[in-house]
Structure 1
Amino acid sequence: MTTRLTQELKRFLILFVYLWVLLGLFVLNQDLIERSAGNVFVFQGFAILNALILAKVMLAAEYVDVARWLQRLPVAATIAFEAVLCTALFMTVHVIERVLVGLFHGSTLAAGIPSFGGGGLAGTVIVGAIIFVSLLPFFTFKHVARAIGPDRLRAILFQRRNPTHPASE
């Protein structure tokens, strides 16, 4: 029981850190945009809170195994599906978050709905593409680790290579 709890906590922390970095970069980008407009706004709290929530949701989605119907297809299809699903989830959570913050501050429901990438369909598609591409490495590493084993992946990525031994390349 303790080993499983430790493993789940490690998975959650890895997910959280990955998402915090990803979402934190979006906040920093927004900060640059706000500064260019003469505003000063940096708030990493939303990135941290969203990373915590989305990491838990991603773990729950993994247990539900929403991609199980893709098992007969190449792993690349599962990776792409999971990245698309999480992209949609992240964008939906962002809309809900902004609407709730707007309502909390007394705005109307419509005023709280955020615009992605400057607004319109093009901005939404661009932001969705950025999130999708940012999630691909995470899901790729997850599936590669399942295929070759997490210990082997860790060894490949973090152990020193022996340049005189051809098998280490």
Structure 2
Amino acid sequence: MSDAAPLTRRQKTVGGLKRFGVIFLYFWGLLAISSLHKSLILEESGLPYRQSFAVVNALVLAKILFVAEELKVGERYEREPLIYAMVFKAAIYSVLLAACEIFESLAIGYFRGRALAECLADVGGGTPFGILTTTLLLFVALLPFFGFRELCAVVGEPELHRLLFVKRARLKILDEG
């Protein structure tokens, strides 16, 4: 039994908002860099438009991931070595996010009266290989995200923060003292 007092509604809300904020910032960083890269490769203008789209997309993806976490999606390997939980969650969530991207493209295309092939072209070019590649990119992008989250769950947030952000020489002094 834990001696800690149960969290109040306010504490749960603040904790949830912090988690959502971290998820959003992670996706926003990825999508902003991706849209910048795409603009450079295709020599397109309209960077502010693409960046605002990255913010909206990051909010949507963060909400999907946040809700899925609240529903305990991917908790199967909680007692296994960390690598299993990291890889499993990255795989599950990358498939979930790719499916949501496909659904979003289909829904927008439906309301705009576009054909199925045109709708899917927005996700990895619309080919099965392109969609698989998009899913694999999501998987690779989510590996460090879930790696840090799983490590934080095991080590504890204060200790992980100390390990990541305190100078190594100071860590040795703290450990010896």
TM-score w.r.t. the length of structure 1 is 0.81
Query: Considering only aligned residues, what root-mean-square deviation do their CA atoms show, in Å?
Result: 2.5
Q: Counterpart of 1:97 in structure 2: which amino acid?
A: E
Does structure 1 residue 48 correspond to structure 2 residue 55? yes
Counterpart of 2:12 in structure 1 is: 4
Displacement of 1:132: 0.9
Query: Which of 16, 22, 37 pairs up with 1:29?
Result: 37
Distance 1:25 1:94, change over 3 A: farther
**Equivalent position SS for 2:76:** helix
For structure 1, the 5+ residue unaligned runs are none
Q: Counterpart of 1:5 in structure 2: which amino acid?
A: T
Counterpart of 1:137 in structure 2 is: 144
Does structure 1 residue 92 correspond to structure 2 residue 99? yes
Distance 1:105 1:145, change over 3 A: same
Q: Counterpart of 1:55 in structure 2: which amino acid?
A: A
Counterpart of 2:80 in structure 1 is: 73
Displacement of 1:17: 0.2
Distance 1:107 1:122, change over 3 A: closer
Do the aligned residues in 2 keep the contact of 1:34 with 1:40 (CA within 8 Å)? no
Displacement of 1:141: 0.3
Name the CA distance, whole Å, in 2 between partners of 1:130 and 1:62: 20
Name the CA distance, whole Å, in 2 between partners of 1:90 and 1:83: 10
What is the aligned residue count? 165
Displacement of 1:119: 5.2
Comparing 129-138 and 119-128, the one that deviates more: 119-128
Do the aligned residues in 2 keep the contact of 1:115 with 1:124 (CA within 8 Å)? no
Name the CA distance, whole Å, in 2 between partners of 1:77 and 1:100: 34
Name the CA distance, whole Å, in 1 between partners of 2:78 and 2:127: 36
Residues 27-49 of structure 1: CA deviation (Å, up to 9, x unaligned): 223323432xxx54542233212
Name the CA distance, whole Å, in 2 between partners of 1:98 and 1:24: 19
Residues 118-156 of structure 1: CA deviation (Å, up to 9, x unaligned): 553433333322221111011000010010100111111
Displacement of 1:74: 2.1
Residues 41-95 of structure 1: CA deviation (Å, up to 9, x unaligned): 5422332122112212212222222223323432211111111122112222222
